Amino acid sequence: MTEPQMSHAEHDVKRKHAKGHHSAPGNERIGSFSDGVFSIAITLLVLEVKVPDDITGGLITALPVILPKLLAHVISFAVLGIYWVGHHNMFLHIRRHDRWLLWMNILFLLFVASMPFAAALIIHYPDDQLALIFYALMLIGAGLALNLTWRYATKHRRLVPAELDADLIAFVNRRQLMAPMVYVIAVLVSFLNLNVAKLLFILVPLLYIVPSPLDQFHHKQLADTE
């Protein structure tokens, strides 16, 4: 006996089910795991800022040594904070996940977890161009991995709400790529002047911490999709 032929409606149901079975709702564990990696990375940053054991002439004489290290720590802390905010806001729109998204997120966290080592190089070798380039490459990698995750999730509204505004998607793409572009410029500038390149690393946190139109756009979109 042959199986009865399925109706067009049954074919549609089966096709939609097959299309959607590769993704799953709920990103709570992704958020928890990511937050844990960020917490550990941010905590490890401060371990590289050590008080000098022997200060001849008082603490004031050690300030030229301590302040650059403290500044590198603050900048690295701010950069990780910026990436955490971006990751957090991104996953407010990403409602589902699949295997590819999980591994893209892990790739992003690889760069986040590497930040304490990259920051340590800058702290201990502030005038070494290779240390600055490695530091920049870690930040470029984090930014590109974050953007790759966003592009994958939003392409054809794969893992985001169908009504998510196309302008918001494009805005986030541009904003996520802004920091990696500045870091690439910093690497190129380092071949001419290392101090000017360092100033570009200070510029990035200022660009992202100052409120932008994305904040209102982002929260309005969340309200519209709830």
pLDDT tens per residue across span 163-207: 888 988 998 999 999 999 999 999 999 999 999 999 999 888 888
pLDDT tens per residue across span 113-148: 999 999 999 988 989 999 999 999 999 999 999 999
Number of neighbours of residue 163 by Cβ within 10 angstroms: 9
Q: CA of 62: how far to CAs of 68, 126, 183, in Å?
A: 11, 16, 30
| Residue closest to 201 by CA, chosen among 179, 219, 221 | 179
Tokens of 89: 């806001």
pLDDT tens per residue across span 142-169: 999 999 999 999 999 999 998 888 988 9
CA dihedral sign, ordered 13, 16, 18, 21? negative
Helix (H/G/I), strand (E/B), else coil: 97: strand
Q: CA of 70: how far to CAs of 43, 60, 76, in Å?
A: 14, 15, 10
For residue 2, pLDDT over 70 is answered with no
pLDDT band (50, 70, 90) for residue 67: confident
* Residue 50 confidence (pLDDT): 73
Beta carbons within 8 Å of 127's beta carbon, 6+ residues apart: 194
Beta carbons within 8 Å of 4's beta carbon, 6+ residues apart: none
* Residue 12 confidence (pLDDT): 45
pLDDT tens per residue across span 78-112: 999 999 999 999 998 999 999 999 999 999 999 99
Total residues found in the chain within this entry = 226
| Distance from C-alpha of 62 to C-alpha of 31, rounded to nearest angstrom | 41
* Residue 25 confidence (pLDDT): 74
